[in-house]
Amino acid sequence: MRYLKRLFISPWALNLLPALVLIAAALVDLPLLAKLEYPFSDRLQQYRRVQKPDPVVLIATETSTASARGTRSPFPEPVLAELRRLGAQSITLLAPPADSLHAPATRAGETQKIVPPALPSPVPLPPPRALLLNCRNPLAGWSWNDAFRPPPYPDDLRPEGHLIFTPDSDGKIRHLALFLEVEEKLLPALPLTLLLRQLRIDLKQLELIPGELSGSIRADRTAIPVFRNYRLALDLNPAHRAYVKFSAAELLEHRIPGRQLKNRHVLLGPGAAFGDRHLVAGHGFLSTSELAALAASTLLNGTAVQRPHWGWLVEAGVILNLALLFALLMPKLSGRAAAAITLTSLLTWGILVAGSLLVFGIQLKFMPLLLFCLVSFSFTQAHNLYQRDKSLAQAHNRLLLQRFKEQGLYDLALERGLSLTAEKKADKETLYHLGLEFERKRLPDSAVSIYQHLLGYGRFRDTKTRLAQLREQNHSTPGDNARQTTLIAAGKEKPTLGRYRIEQELGQGAMGVLYRGVDPKINRRVAIKTLDYAHIEPEKLETTKKRFFREAEAAGALNHAHIVTIYDIGEDNGLAYLAMELLEGQDLSRFCTVAARLPTAQVVDIGGQIAAALDYAHRHGVVHRDIKPANIILQPDGRIKVVDFGIARVVDHTHTDSGIILGTPSYMSPEQIGGKKIDGRSDLFSLGVLLYELFSGKKPFQGNDLTTLMYNISLAKYPPLKSVSPGLPPDCYRIVAKLLQKTLTRRYRSAAIVARELAAVSSELKRS
């Protein structure tokens, strides 16, 4: 269940699941998607420019016209005669059959029986595999949109064909069904029969596609683009002159020039008859006769928008490709960069959709991709925010756990360990090491609690075996939580490490104890650091020893005036040690308060010396990783020495492999907070924090707890140095601001540049 939860909230699921849902919704024509798509498509079609003639003329007559001439028919013989005289190519009556002069006369009370023409039935819908191989919509038969279902047929059918216009789900008319199913036959629409009459094509010559699919109806060399259920898309651009409209009165009074009707198709129909007014997208309200003229003109001019059978495949492919791209990129990008990519994707697809419609008359859907981008961006940003908060909380717990363990506060370490989730391997390593530490300190009850908590996230190493062994013990011995000095004990001879005699304990650090010693061969005082093997798990002991000697050797090769000199490394009786130069003076910690600040010129000089030391070390492949006031020794002659080069990398390896963040939090770079790869520019950020504190007596990043402090270092702005320490040279503000850039690429490329700029500031201060 835990793995399913992690999979469900992963970036892949947050992108691919919405993509698949929206693709399926588009394939079944979900009404909600259609309603969202209509306004965008209608607006685009209004900008479509098609230079075509207006081949249709509509002669509209009202009931008053017929009454004035004393005839029951609104289209008396004089009207037809006048149309023939003016050279009309064809004349089609739109009136109901009972009033039509084109149909045979019938006796009173007799109903005309219309038998629809027989057409070849469309081939059955292919199976899904064949649909995919032929780029056909595999969900075509599962449409949810009622607008794409065949409309009902009327009782009063006309011989020429039907004029049934069905509105879409938003109440507007955009299509005409070219065929209606009547008595297991297909009744053509009147505009279609008009086109076929002009092309001299018989209805039986039409090659139909399955009604569930979009594509083209073909006959000879003619292709009529249709949507589902043979729906013809009407020309929705009101700027196109689709047809010309005159009244019957204008015709009979000879007010219509002959050229207006010559070689054109004339439709005769009531202007406001049938008792209806239809809301047509882009045209407002039109009568049935006007709609018939619009449909006929669309067919004759070939200006219908087409929906190709492969359109769904293009749309699905674009959404799936974007889903894969977003799943790979979005978790790694900032909110601004993710928004830019999302907007760029939308703009690119919008241009392609608009271009295909305006240039080629091909309609592709825009709304599924728009909804996918919005959903994907929202879900991914929410996921990133959740992961960032969770990562900060985990880092906070790991940091506190390590600090409590180093200080011997094992009850607090146990509390933090139980609050640490172990979904990642690094977190499992941390808990496993904590359990080992409890075993070494003879705290079996605490070890049992940690191992049980660890097993709640799955098996890991020999945790289950260790837990069983601890449970077999019927007693627990409380451990001594006080950390004892490794070598020196009261009332005993002073011990030795190698050839060095230990004189005094100077302090304790993350990796071991620091002693003052003497080299008896040359009577030289030295400082000796030890590596405490008790904090290293047994299976990694040999690897850590090799790394310690390798890094110490690399640090010993550093020969610089501002880097402490390492004299010797070795191992004695299971304890590794490192002998180095014993420095006189004091570290910079005491000068980091407002009252004890050093002069500006001296701070600039110290910063230049540190930058020179860092540049030398970086060029030799050594990154310090823990630049802070306690690691900078100010000697009586004003020179500084940077200590712990190389040692920081060994400590980082022995602890951060377990997911523990090391370093002094106030001086850590954003890369260290995020557990990213470290290079020399991380040391430059720490140098910026140090200079800020020396100039002002205050730290740039502060917080009431570690979580707030780590958040401020990673994301928050700090008070500008000028606001807390006015009166400094402008270049000091600029240098510190660039060192404290949160983005690696915005900092100085190397410490050498920092050293040169600080040297220039120092020279300027001396001249002034």
Distance CA 97, CA 328 (A): 65
CA torsion sign, 361 to 364 to 370 to 371? positive
Distance CA 622, CA 616 (A): 9
Pairing of strands 524-531, 513-519: antiparallel
Distance CA 762, CA 603 (A): 9
* Number of other residues whose CB lies within 10 A of the CB of residue 518: 19
The catalytic residue among 235, 615, 626, 652 is: 626
Lookup result for tokens 């392609």? 352
With H, G, I as helix, E, B as strand and everything else as coil, classify residue 292: helix
Q: In which element (H, E) is residue 249 found?
A: helix 248-252
Distances (CA, A) of 673 to 386, 394, 614, 659, 690: 17, 11, 21, 12, 17
Distance CA 172, CA 175 (A): 9
The DSSP 8-state label assigned to residue 260 in this structure reads: G
From 96, 393, 46, 84, select the one nearest 269 (Cα to Cα).
Answer: 96
Lookup result for tokens 């520019």? 681
Contacts of 638 (CB under 8 A, 6+ apart): 602, 605
Q: Decide if 626 is catalytic.
A: yes
With H, G, I as helix, E, B as strand and everything else as coil, classify residue 673: helix
Structure token digits, residue 736: 């510190």
Integer-rounded Cα radius of gyration of the chain: 43
Q: In which element (H, E) is residue 218 found?
A: strand 215-219
Lookup result for tokens 């503000």? 733
Question: Exposed (0-12), middle (13-18) or buried (19+): which is 474, by Cβ within 10 Å?
Answer: exposed
DSSP code string of 584-615: PSEEGGGG-SSTTPPPHHHHHHHHHHHHHHHH
From 382, 430, 395, select the one nearest 708 (Cα to Cα).
Answer: 395
Strand partners, 587: 633
DSSP code string of 657-670: TTT---S-GGG--H
For residues 511, 513, 517, 522, the Cα torsion angle rounded to the nearest 10 degrees is -10
For the stretch 631-663, what's the b/e string if a residue is b when 16 or more beta carbons lie within 10 angstroms of its beta carbon? bbbbeeeeebbbbbbbbbbbbbbbbbbbbbbbb
Distance CA 347, CA 653 (A): 47
Write the Ramachandran bin of 522: left for phi over 0, alpha for psi from -120 to 50, otherwise beta. alpha
Distance CA 766, CA 768 (A): 5
With beta carbons less than 8 A apart as the criterion, state whether 143 and 214 touch. Answer: no
With beta carbons less than 8 A apart as the criterion, state whether 271 and 62 touch. Answer: yes
Q: Hey, which residues are catalytic here?
A: 626
